[in-house]
Amino acid sequence: MKKQHTMNKNIQELAPQTLWKYFADICRIPHPSHHEQAIHDYLVAQAAALGLSCTTDEAGNVILRKAATPGMENLKGVILQAHMDMVPQKNGDKKFDFTTDSIEAYVDGDWVTADGTTLGADNGIGMAAILAVMASPDLQHGPLEALITCSEEVGMDGAFGLKPGLLQGEILINLDSETEGELYVGCAGGQDVSVTFTYKEEPVPADSRAYRLELKGLKGGHSGMEIILERGNANKIMNRFLLEAQAQYGLRLASIDGGGLRNAIPRESVAVVTLPAAKAEAFEAAVASFERLMQAELKGVDDGVNFRAVAVDVPASLIDADTQDRLLKSVAVCPNGIIRMSPAIAGLVQTSTNLARVVSAEGTIQLHCMMRSSVDSEKDALADSMKALFSLAGARTELSGAYSGWNPDPSSAILKTMLAEYKALYGREPEVKAIHAGLECGILGGTYPGLDMISMGPTIQYPHSPDEKVNVSSVGRFWDFLCHVLAHIPTK
């Protein structure tokens, strides 16, 4: 356990101080997706305090404008872009309400992290950098705009809702990638899959024993950025045990609750089950054996996996046996993880899917998956296979939230500028990459065709999980580079 009294919470004293001051402010303001009014109001208030032009659109996005440094009006207009929401994930034993509580950020060596929750560096650091640029009186730059979008993490609502004609700049610099020293010029598209089983309630057989199965300790993480690490998926692991125990011990399922947000690899799953009392001892031994098996299989990837069975009171009813069987068998064969690696870019995942959520309540069982691909036709084919699978299992499948990827532009003027300026600052060229995650650039480029776009950011590890942390030194380099680039934007 972390000791509260030893934590250095003075993150506003880090350098660059203005950026970290704004980030400290952002941490104090609750801003999970769909609960962004407070952070929206804060951005508007900061614009007023700085004397900036500020517009809010119908979607809830905030657009700020700052005039060019005198003599630099001939530079192309730059749009700095970030999103205002964060992913609300916490450890199971952490008492925390993301809609009311402040993030407990603290310094840990050369990192800033949070106590048992996501930090919100994704994308709070991007917002803080924008505000620091807007607040700095001595930076050299051409005409500047800032676009801070809402509800990016749950469907890119702000980007989808942005209308043509609001932005004036010619170059867009997205501040939402997560490795300093890398420039991103392309991203994956995505689509959500929602599956619904309906079930009848059945009585619990006489002489049954009930258990609460708890699977915890997995690392989880970002379902795009970290799918390549092939960490354990709590929903798939729990289902694997349930399917085997159904055959071996006559296990019956009363309820299940696994995973959380669609774009986070599920870390935990809980199921309430029953079985004949005569098989209880063998079942308990099987639970312990399965835990050892998972620890061996996931060694070096998810070393903290914990699986246990806790005896509980017999539940009031069970999911009917037919639905249980169809659910467990279909989840067992549901695609999950890497589907295909890119044949063009070494080490890049091209297509993947994440079984993010399995939850039962009041006669229905809901499954939620998120598919990603930089090739729309592969994403569509994967969607068709998911629909076919769950149709055979007797479930209803709905597709939603589709968005296309962002295709790299090798002739990009801002890419050439940033390659040259990074080398001028640090003596080496940054890596140029595409990302297996959803950046808003793909959507924004569709609304504003012709935008010259690029994405950058400091080093953030384990986003979308309570282990999220941002590297302090990388934030300094990210800031220096951003300021340097703004002074060397191509002319109109």
Query: Do 174 and 204 sit in the same domain of this protein?
Result: no
Judged by average pLDDT, the poorest of 1-10, 154-163, 329-338, 430-439 is 1-10
Q: What is the CATH classification number for the domain harbouring 246? A: 3.30.70.360
Query: Do 41 and 52 sit in the same domain of this protein?
Result: yes
pLDDT value of position 1: 39
Instruction: Read off the pLDDT of each residue in 362-376 and give the average, rounded to a whole number.
Output: 94
In a domain, 160, yes or no: yes
Peptide bond into 123 cis (omega under 30): yes
pLDDT value of position 375: 86
Query: Do 448 and 343 sit in the same domain of this protein?
Result: no
Query: Do 45 and 167 sit in the same domain of this protein?
Result: yes
Catalytic, 85? Answer yes
Pairing of strands 144-149, 78-83: parallel
Identify the band that residue 6 occupies on the pLDDT scale cut at 50, 70 and 90: low
In this model, does residue 372 exceed pLDDT 90?
yes
Write down the catalytic residue from 36, 122, 145, 152: 152
Residues in the chain: 492
In a domain, 492, yes or no: no
In this model, does residue 3 exceed pLDDT 60?
no
Q: What is the CATH classification number for the domain harbouring 111? A: 3.40.630.10
**Where does a domain end: 364, 379, 403?**
403
Distance separating alpha carbons of residues 65 and 47, to the nearest angstrom: 9
Query: Do 345 and 412 sit in the same domain of this protein?
Result: no
| Average per-residue pLDDT for the chain | 95
Catalytic, 152? Answer yes
Distance separating alpha carbons of residues 427 and 429, to the nearest angstrom: 7
The values of phi and psi at residue 98, to 5°, are -65, -20
Domain that holds residue 300: 191-403
In a domain, 225, yes or no: yes
In this model, does residue 429 exceed pLDDT 70?
yes
pLDDT value of position 331: 98
Query: Do 198 and 347 sit in the same domain of this protein?
Result: yes
Query: Do 234 and 341 sit in the same domain of this protein?
Result: yes
In a domain, 388, yes or no: yes
In a domain, 491, yes or no: no
CA of 95: how far to CAs of 56, 86, 104, 116, 468, in Å? 34, 18, 12, 9, 18
**Where does a domain end: 359, 380, 403?**
403
The 10s digit of each residue's pLDDT in 390-425 is 999 999 999 998 888 887 887 899 999 999 999 999
Query: Do 262 and 323 sit in the same domain of this protein?
Result: yes
- The token pair that represents 250 in the structure block: 């006559």
The 10s digit of each residue's pLDDT in 272-307 is 999 999 999 999 999 999 999 999 999 999 999 999
The 10s digit of each residue's pLDDT in 146-158 is 999 999 998 889 9
Give the 3-state DSSP-derived string for the chain, with helices as H, strands as E and coil as C: CCCHHHCECCHHHCCCHHHHHHHHHHHHCCCECCCCHHHHHHHHHHHHHHCCEEEECCCCCEEEEECCCCCCCCECCEEEEEECCECCCECCCCCCCCCCCCCCEEEECCEEEECCECCCHHHHHHHHHHHHHHHCCCCCCCCEEEEEECCCCCCCHHHHHCCCCCCCCCEEEECCCCCCCEEEEEECEEEEEEEEEECCEECCCCCEEEEEEEEECCCCEECCCCHHHCCCCHHHHHHHHHHHHHHHHCCEEEEEEEECCCCEECCCEEEEEEEEHHHHHHHHHHHHHHHHHHHHHCCCCCCCCEEEEEEECCCCCEECHHHHHHHHHHHHHCCCEEEEECCCCCCCEEEEEEEEEEEEECCEEEEEEEEEECCHHHHHHHHHHHHHHHHHCCCEEEEEEEECCECCCCCCHHHHHHHHHHHHHHCCCCEEEEECCCCCHHHHHHHCCCCEEEECCCCEECCCCCCCEEEHHHHHHHHHHHHHHHCCCCEC
Identify the band that residue 343 occupies on the pLDDT scale cut at 50, 70 and 90: confident
**Where does a domain end: 403, 423, 446?**
403
pLDDT value of position 262: 85
Given a contact cutoff of 8 angstroms between Cβ atoms, the answer to whether 178 and 368 are in contact is: no
Query: Do 355 and 225 sit in the same domain of this protein?
Result: yes
Query: Do 181 and 204 sit in the same domain of this protein?
Result: no
Cβ neighbours around 93 below 10 Å, total: 8
What's the domain count of the chain? 2
Query: Do 211 and 344 sit in the same domain of this protein?
Result: yes
Pairing of strands 208-216, 306-312: antiparallel
pLDDT value of position 2: 42
Write down the catalytic residue from 85, 170, 180, 440: 85
Q: What percent of the chain shows pLDDT beyond 70? A: 99
Query: Do 171 and 270 sit in the same domain of this protein?
Result: no
The 10s digit of each residue's pLDDT in 235-267 is 999 999 999 999 999 999 999 999 998 889 999
Q: What percent of the chain shows pLDDT beyond 90? A: 87
In this model, does residue 9 exceed pLDDT 50?
yes
Instruction: Read off the pLDDT of each residue in 437-458 and give the average, rounded to a whole number.
Output: 91
The 10s digit of each residue's pLDDT in 70-129 is 999 999 999 999 999 999 999 989 999 999 999 999 999 999 999 999 999 999 999 999
In a domain, 316, yes or no: yes
